[in-house]
Structure 1
Amino acid sequence: MKDAGSVPTPQPVRQVALLRGINVGRNKRVSMALLRRLLADLGYADVVTYLQSGNAVFTSASGPASAAQAIEQALAGGLGVESKVVVRSHAELVAAVDGDPLKEVATDPSRHLVGFLSAAPDAEHRETLVDLVGPQPDPDQCRIIGNHLYLWCPDGVLRSSFAKVDWNKRLGVTTTMRNWNTVTKLVDLSREYVEAASRYPA
């Protein structure tokens, strides 16, 4: 008989790890094979990576914040790579996609970006975005919903008013960007395992 006062055992869930700033130029080089091995060594299951920019899908009973910290420490200790990591559960990632405030105007997924934030920025940092983008909606747009930043750059990211922005400094939290193509692919990769293995709650 289960003890009424016992703490429920955390259930494994599908999660997505987003590494910041790796494999850009010659710095912070991490092969995806090494990343998969590193996550497996942490005890994470069914590890899949996508592209070379540091995107990994895995299953773990650890919460996203704990997983992010563990991956950061493993990267530094095992590979000598200092990289901030943001982790979202499958459900959180799906909610970020479903809650996109720019979906009516963002017609090119390569120019539509999502910034994954380690925490929701405070009011003071949010106010700085007003000076950055100026009058909206023409042409570049940005919105913050909780711990996600959404950008639409109709003339291209490099030509946008966001091209040289240090988002970590601007928002006061760790920020790592992915375009819409990458985000939706990660949702698909995560969903495949959620649907195939009902023991992993979404």
Structure 2
Amino acid sequence: MTTHLALLRGINVSGHNMIKMEVLKTTLEAIGFKNVQTYIQSGNVFVDTEEENPAAVGFKIKQEIFKTLGHEVPVVVIAKADIEACFKNNPFLKEKDIDIKKLYFAFISTELRSDSINDLKMSQVKPDEASIDANRIYIKYAVGAGKTRFDQKYIEKKLNVTATIRNWNTVTQLLKLYEER
């Protein structure tokens, strides 16, 4: 069995794509996922399956949510190593007196080229900063996530990918849950 973490984008936000986590859990168990565990209402769900391919797991989840619940929900599936890299490889953690409340992580549906940072045109979203690492973008917001143009829609448009963003606290808790499994 392989454990996957599926990050659903855009559910339970401002009354859109409302999905109760208990319903999501039951829906995924009904199609064969084991040890289904959700974390908070924003669409973080662990599943165990014989399927090793993260893209196949994401497609199956996305398809079932649409079929059963009627919502078109992008899904990015990541591994424990992706979460661990958020803390090991994040260049902003090397800064003195960093405010971790301004650190976010964008998880991307595919591995990015090292020069993809150029495609983001960061000069358009200054003073926010970003760094790319495989299928993750480390983000440091100057003011905060609610006051920036550098959101998942911006990332998706510039890079032609599916992206979903999580804050420091959420990613910290997801790593803890991964380790407890």
With the shorter chain as reference, the TM-score category is 0.7 to 0.9
Distance 1:162 1:13, change over 3 A: same
Q: Which has the higher helix share?
A: 2
TM-score, normalised to structure 1's length?
A: 0.79
Distance 1:41 1:70 in 2: 12
Match of 2:165 among 157, 177, 190: 177
What amino acid maps onto 2:72 in structure 1?
E
2:73 alignment counterpart: 83
| Alignment map for 1:187-198 (pairs within 5 Å) | 187-193=175-181
Unaligned 5+ residue runs, structure 1?
1-11, 194-202
Deviates more, 1:73-82 or 1:106-115: 106-115
2:26 alignment counterpart: 37
8 Å CA contact retained: 2:4, 2:47: yes
CA RMSD in angstroms, aligned pairs only: 2.2
Q: Extract structure 1 runs of 4+ deviating beyond 6 A.
A: none
Task: Note the C-alpha offset of 1:47.
Answer: 1.4
Deviates more, 1:139-148 or 1:159-168: 159-168
8 Å CA contact retained: 2:110, 2:161: yes
1:103 alignment counterpart: 93
The one of the two structures with greater contact order (alpha-carbon pairs below 8 A, sep at least 6) is 1
| Alignment map for 1:19-38 (pairs within 5 Å) | 19-38=8-27
What amino acid maps onto 2:111 in structure 1?
A
Instruction: State which structure, 1 or 2, has the greater radius of gyration over its C-alpha atoms.
Output: 1
User: 1:102 is paired with a residue of what secondary structure?
Assistant: helix
- Deviations along 1:33-73, one digit per CA (max 9) or x if unpaired, are 01111221222221111111100112222121111000000
2:83 alignment counterpart: 93
Q: Does 1:132 align with 2:120?
A: no
Question: Equivalent pairs: percent with the same residue?
Answer: 33
2:37 alignment counterpart: 48
